Amino acid sequence: MIEVQISTKEAGQRIDKFVRRYLNEAPLSFLYRLFRLKDIKVNTKPVPISYILKEKDCIRIYITEQQLKEFAQPKEFIRGSGSIQVLYEDDNVLIVEKPRGILVHGDEKEKRRTLSNQVLNYLVNKGEYDPASTNRFVPSPAHRLDRNTSGIVLFGKNIEALQELYSLFKKREGIKKEYLALLEGQLRKEGEINLPLMKDEKKGMVSVSSLNEGGKSAITRYTIQEVFKDKTLVQATLITGRSHQLRVHFASIHHPICGDSKYGDFYKNHLFEKKYQFHDQFLHAFRLTFLKIEGKLSYLSNKTFTMELPKEEQKILEELRKEKACI
């Protein structure tokens, strides 16, 4: 028998999810058999798999020492290189700046240099995260940005906060994300793009579709910030949050994001890269606002966090202003 006491960071989650994380190498059939035989108890009493854990709950799991050794394997902790810039931090959330060129999560090609690893390193150095406990709760991002998009990313430092952040991003009611994007061509007025999107998982591409064909509702609103000789800086707000939404939406109205190698104008991208030595899409998640929210994170209501446009992008805008002044 093993005994585990639930900490503040782990409270608020279903017991089956906690046990699956704790016994991370155990087959699901084995775990659900433990529940069925009432070999998992909380405060000496059997509980259903839907039970929500509370701080200081005492979980007893009736397995052998050999089963514990076999099924409870700490995950490998990969130290990430680089430091992070913190915009805001408290006991529940961590808001950081993500530079261009770095993944939020690792993939098959890159597992070490990720924003998530850098955040975990930061928390290890502060004494707030123990890599030896990775079979329990791991501080994680509540949303993602593409590798070549810079901007603000939120992390949950405990399970209850992370779940609330997930819910806010999913419902799109209590949180507002705003971007700056440099587009090809001139736009003269604000607008809304309401075109359903569908993702091809095998190709990793998103395209405009219809709801009848399996597309998901996607809405982008934008305002004009500055018009240049042949480009436009816009401020865009995601009403929905689909993969590659801004990139596909702006390409669909024939004003793709400058430097977008997947959905942009390849010839213009070549000219843009050659002229400004800028190798990525000009897209930056610059502002995040919590609206009126309830629950554990209610104290963040009406708070706004802003990340300044990176220096490379600022330099490009300065050059564009000079070109415009010479016309």
* pLDDT 10s digits, 53-72: 998 999 999 988 888 878 87
pLDDT of residue 107: 56
Amino acid identity for residue 85 in this structure: Q
DSSP state, residue 14: B
How many residues would you count in the chain?
A: 327
d(CA 261, CA 269): 7
Rounded to a whole number, what is the distance in angstroms from the first to the last CA of the chain?
79
pLDDT of residue 78: 62
d(CA 246, CA 111): 26
Share of the chain above pLDDT 70, in %: 93
Q: How many CB atoms lie within 10 A of CB 98?
A: 25
Torsion of CA 302, 303, 309, 311, to 10 degrees: 160
Does the pLDDT of residue 10 top 90, yes or no? no
Cα three-residue angle 292-172-179, rounded to 5 degrees:
100
Does the pLDDT of residue 80 top 60, yes or no? no
pLDDT of residue 231: 96
Domain map (residue ranges) of the chain:
2-71, 76-171, 172-327
- Sign of the C-alpha dihedral, residues 102, 243, 268, 308? negative
CB 242 within 8 A of CB 197: yes
DSSP state, residue 63: -
d(CA 151, CA 286): 6
Main-chain dihedrals φ then ψ at residue 21, nearest 5 degrees: -75, -40
pLDDT of residue 112: 62
pLDDT of residue 115: 93
Q: Tens of pLDDT along 100-153?
A: 999 998 655 555 679 998 999 999 889 888 877 645 688 999 999 999 999 999
CB 152 within 8 A of CB 95: yes
From 16, 57, 146, 265, active-site residue: 146
Q: Tens of pLDDT along 259-298?
A: 999 999 999 999 999 999 998 999 999 999 999 999 899 9
Architecture of domain 76-171: 2-Layer Sandwich (3.30)
Q: Tens of pLDDT along 42-54?
A: 999 999 999 999 9
Does the pLDDT of residue 2 top 90, yes or no? no
Contacts of 1 by beta carbon, 8 Å cutoff, 6+ apart:
60, 61, 62, 63
- 57 assigned to active site: no
By C-alpha distance, which of 17, 5, 305, 41 is closest to 160? 17
CATH 3.10.290.10 is the classification of domain 2-71: yes
Does the pLDDT of residue 9 top 60, yes or no? yes
By C-alpha distance, which of 140, 167, 168 is closest to 154? 140
| Bridge partners, 206 (sequence order) | 199
Helix axes 15-22, 28-36, angle to 10 degrees: 130
pLDDT of residue 65: 82
pLDDT of residue 299: 96
Tokens standing for residue 81: 């290189």
pLDDT of residue 17: 87
This prediction's pTM: 0.80
Q: Tens of pLDDT along 202-255?
A: 888 999 998 888 889 999 999 999 999 999 999 999 998 889 999 999 999 999
Q: Could you say which of 3.30.2350.10, 3.40.50.1010, 3.30.420.40, 3.30.1490.270 is the CATH number of the domain covering 172-327?
A: 3.30.2350.10
DSSP state, residue 272: H
Amino acid identity for residue 221 in this structure: R
Same CATH fold, 172-327 and 76-171?
Answer: yes
DSSP state, residue 119: H
